[in-house]
Amino acid sequence: MGRDSKEPEIFVAKDVCPVCGKNSLELRWSETEIPSFGRCILLSMKCESCGYKSSTSWPLSSKGPIRYVLAVENPKDIYAKIVKSPTGTIKIPELSILIKPGPSSNSFITNVEGILERVKRAIMALLFGVESEEERKKYQEYLQTLEKAKRGEMKFTVIVEDPYGISRIEHEDREKVREEKYHPKNE
Ligand SMILES: [Zn+2]
Provide the domain count of the chain: 2
pTM: 0.72
Instruction: List residues, by chain if needed, whose CB lies under 5 Å from ion ligand 1.
Output: 17, 19-20, 47, 49-50, 52
Of the candidates 165, 185, 169, the one whose C-alpha atom is nearest the C-alpha of residue 177 is 169
First to last CA, the chain: 15
pLDDT (tens place) for every residue of the chain, 187 residues total:
444 445 546 778 888 898 999 999 998 888 888 787 788 888 889 999 999 998 887 777 778 899 999 999 988 999 999 998 888 999 999 999 999 886 655 778 899 999 999 999 999 999 988 889 999 999 999 999 999 999 989 999 999 999 888 899 999 999 999 999 999 875 4
For residue 54, report the distance from its CA to the centre of ligand 1, in Å.
Answer: 11
pLDDT given at position 56: 80
Ligand 1 centroid to Cα of residue 68, in Å, is: 40
User: 137 with 70, same domain?
Assistant: yes
The predicted pLDDT at position 9 comes to 64
Are 47 and 78 contained in the same domain?
no
Q: What is the pLDDT of residue 1?
A: 43
Q: Which are the contacts of 12, defined by CB distance < 8 A and separation ≥ 6? A: 26, 27, 28, 29
Do 70 and 159 fall into the same domain?
yes
59, 77, 93: which is the final residue of a domain? 59
Q: What residues make up the domain containing 49? A: 10-59
Neighbouring CB atoms inside 10 A of 73's CB total 13
Say which CATH number the domain at 149 has.
2.60.120.1040
